[in-house]
Structure 1
Amino acid sequence: MSGRPCSKVACNQGAEATLTYVYADSMAVLGPLSQKAEPHSYDLCARHAERLSVPQGWQVIRHVVLGT
């Protein structure tokens, strides 16, 4: 566990991914957990990262770390 909790309400799991929205481009970017918590991003546990959904017309970019 990272020591940072999932940003979803009532979830007590540890964060494993960081989600950032780019509103101007209608895009959500999901990647590995950032080194430090940022005020305009959301840390998510594995379950919530996997279940991520965005509004219709939006694009999701998923960055993954290869070779781990």
Structure 2
Amino acid sequence: MDGRPCSKVACVSTAIATLTYDYRDSMAVLGPLSQKAEPHSYDLCEKHAARLSAPQGWQVIRHVALGA
């Protein structure tokens, strides 16, 4: 496997995005894969990034690259 693995249990796919949480503002932020792994973030593959949902009352912020 090239790159970092997806953080989901039993997933063997390569991560393409990084998920972080802002608990104070009830937000889940999904952006491009961070340059290095961070202990309080989760790296997700394409499938798990697309299926991401958040608890009721939370916002999901998805950063996308324009012009890609």
Which interval holds the TM-score relative to the shorter structure? over 0.9
TM-score between both structures, scaled by the size of structure 2: 0.95
Structure 2 CA distance, aligned partners of 1:34 and 1:4? 10
Aligned residues: 68
Where does structure 1 lack aligned partners over 5 or more consecutive residues?
Answer: none
Q: Which amino acid aligns with 2:61?
A: I
Which protein is richer in helix relative to its size?
1
- 5 Å-filtered alignment, 1:51-66, equals 51-66=51-66
4+ residue stretches of structure 1 with deviation over 4 A? Answer: none
Where does structure 2 lack aligned partners over 5 or more consecutive residues?
Answer: none
TM-score between both structures, scaled by the size of structure 1: 0.95
**% of aligned pairs identical?**
81
